[in-house]
Amino acid sequence: SSIMKRIIILSLLCSGFGIVSCQNANSDKPMETNTKTKQPMETSYNKTDEEWKKTLTAEQYDILRKKGTEYPGTGKYNKHFEKGFYTCAGCGQELFSSDQKFDSHCGWPSFDGEIGGGNRVKKVPDYSHGMVRTEIVCARCGGHLGHIFDDGPTATGMRYCVNSLSLGFKPASGDSAKK
């Protein structure tokens, strides 16, 4: 009947909107790296592709240099709330403070700002996968970090959704380093 058709259509529409939220946060599969539409970032850190392969794990290389995405909820820093600084896994540059981190429940580490007032994380338009998003990359080495969204729950309204494999961590010094 027509009521049943409307319910089915409404259900499909709601499902579709949920899929694109937070880079498919509820998906059981990682976002596919499509080398035809997602070209590796130019190595601006004076390293060749072969040098990157020697200094990064295969998983880090896929994320940082090929713009891959790790499985949601599996990253080392997703539920990590120690005091300190999150660094680029490619070059070591400090990118985010633990004070900027929050639990967005999307499956990836999330931050509401960045260190350095915008000069350490570069924003790049991303039109891949049929979406319009803003990719974030390390301004020093060009490593892919993730994406930024304007749906954050904090005062900044921003949510830097970052792959754990793109990050390193430097604990704060002192006895009160744990949060």
The pLDDT assigned to 124 comes to 95
Selection from 46, 178, 131 nearest residue 161 by Cα: 131
Q: Is the pLDDT of residue 86 over 90?
A: yes
The pLDDT assigned to 117 comes to 83
Q: Residue 54: in which H helix or E strand, if any?
A: helix 49-55
Q: Is the pLDDT of residue 69 over 60?
A: yes
Phi, psi of 115 (to 5 degrees): -75, 145
Q: Is the pLDDT of residue 23 over 60?
A: no
The amino acid at 60: Q
Active site residues: 161
Selection from 129, 127, 125, 87 nearest residue 109 by Cα: 87
Greatest CA span in the chain, whole angstroms?
Answer: 68
Buried b (16+ CB within 10 A) or exposed e, 57-85: eeebbbbbbebbbbebeebebbebeebbb
Please give the Cα distance from 104 to 64 (Å, whole number): 22
